[in-house]
Structure 1
Amino acid sequence: MYELKNKLLLLCLSVCLVLVACGSKEEEKPSTDNAKESKGILLDDKGNPKKTIKVNKDTEKAVKDVIEQNRKSLNEGNVEAYIETIDHDSKHLNAKEEEKVLKDTLKNYQFDKKIKNIKFLKEKNNEVVVFYNVDTTAHPKNGGKDEQKSFNEVVTLVKKDGKYKYSKMSQAAI
């Protein structure tokens, strides 16, 4: 039973974070005495990034739409729609590996992923960096105990052919 819980935890994090085989380097965190931090992002006492930017309404809508598609497709178990949200040329995410892991994981689990508090951190050329909070519950299809995880996620999205795609993902537990 203990081994099953560990496997579930690993699979949940792997799928929800889309970090399998990404091999991204850890970003250095700024040193502070009493501040909360998340992947080098300085957070205020409410868990919000201290430095955010405003983007134009079209960019904001396009980015939020792809974040929602990614979240919704995971919850629905729609692997094809999920993989459409990933940049297949990314140096940090391997779309083929993500697809394989997701298909294998969805045989045994159903997910309920919720995203809130979307904040824009950086915009340059056709790339945006976004911060948000995630609450995820993995429901074992065999009727086992649900596993819940909450974390902050920092994602980089690139615009290709008029649509934003996930290029890099990093997370830090709350």
Structure 2
Amino acid sequence: MTSSEVVLDLPTAEDTRALGRRLGSLLRAGDLLVLTGDLGAGKTTLTQGLAEGLGVRGPITSPTFVIARVHPSLQEGPALVHVDAYRLGDGAELDDLDLDESLAESVTVVEWGAGLAEQLTEERLELILVRSGSVAEDQQGRTARLRGVGGRWASLLQQVIGS
């Protein structure tokens, strides 16, 4: 299995959203993104940008209490399945969501999914967001580490950093 990695500085929340838009415009049905980061690191902000790039119905909010939300496409593209795995205890609880059934027809984003979502597919994009400022600041910076697992992601990551 091949992997490739890119590290990006994101000075503002809008830069995080813009990264999501760029990624979203390149994603296709069957893609899995696993987002990792502390509370307030920008996982939902990035997903909002992904949704804009994909052209799906919003609003995009954290699915913490509902676990998963499906956002249908407004442009005949793939739906966005947005999952928050924070409250899931193990892979069996993730299995109960039947994400493997919808994975082929949608783009699936799993927040807090490290250690759980990898069982869904061998190919995925892992994004680790780290805040470089304090939570109280409005324009805090972030660092994004994007690690593509599988052959598709090397060229996609080059397109992201090239745009």
| Structure of higher CA gyration radius | 1
TM-score (ref. length: structure 1)? 0.26
As a proportion of its length, which structure holds more strand? 1
**Higher RCO (CA 8 Å, separation ≥ 6 residues):** 2
